[in-house]
Amino acid sequence: MPTLPPLATVADLAARAGDTIDAADPQAGAVLDMASALVRAYVGSSLVPEPTPDPLVFPDAAVQVTVDVAYRVWTNPDALVADGIDDATRRWSDRAGDGFYLTAANKMILDSLRTPASNGGLWTLGTTRGDDYLDTIYVPTGPPPSGYPFPWYAADDPLIQ
C-alpha cells in the first residue's frame, strides 16, 4: 500500500482516456501509483501536498505527466506497436521492457520541478577565493619544470601575523 497519495486521480485518467473508469478500480489505482512513483523519483522530491482540505493540490506539471505515463500503460500495457493477421505479425515497442518510462517531453516538463540535488552532472567548483589584493608574490621553486611556486608573503599579509 503506498504511503504517499497518487499525483493524479482516477478521474484525471478517465478524462484522458475518454472513458468511464470506476474510482475504486484497483488496476487504475495501481497504474497511477506507479506513474506517481516514477515522477517523484525523477523530480527528486516526494511532492507531498501541503495539509489542505480535499482535493489534494500538486503542481500541474506533475499531474499532467503522471496522467500521460499512466494513460500510456492503461491503454497499451504490453506496448504493442504493430499487429497483423496474415503471418501473425506482431511488433512491440523498443521500450516495452521499460514498462513505465518518461519520454523526453515528459522530462522537459518536469525539469522545472527538479530539486538541485537531483540535477546530476559535472561542474567546476572553485576552491580558492582569489585574494589577489594582498601583496603576496610567488617565487619559483627551481628551473622549469619545477614544483608549485612558493608564496613570499608581504609584511601586511594577515597570514603572517
Q: Domain residues of the chain, as ranges?
A: 10-118
Per-residue pLDDT tens digits for 97-112 = 567 888 889 999 998 8
Q: Flag residues of the chain having pLDDT under 50.
A: 118
> What pLDDT, on the 0 to 100 scale, is given for residue 10?
92
Q: The cell 482535493 sits on which residue?
A: 55
What pLDDT is stored for residue 20 in this prediction? 87
pLDDT of 3 reads 73
Sign of dihedral through CA atoms 39, 11, 6, 22? negative
pTM beyond 0.75, yes or no: no
pLDDT value of residue 116: 64
- The answer to whether the CB of 62 falls within 8 A of the CB of 47 is yes
The rounded Cα 115 to chain-centroid distance in angstroms is 8
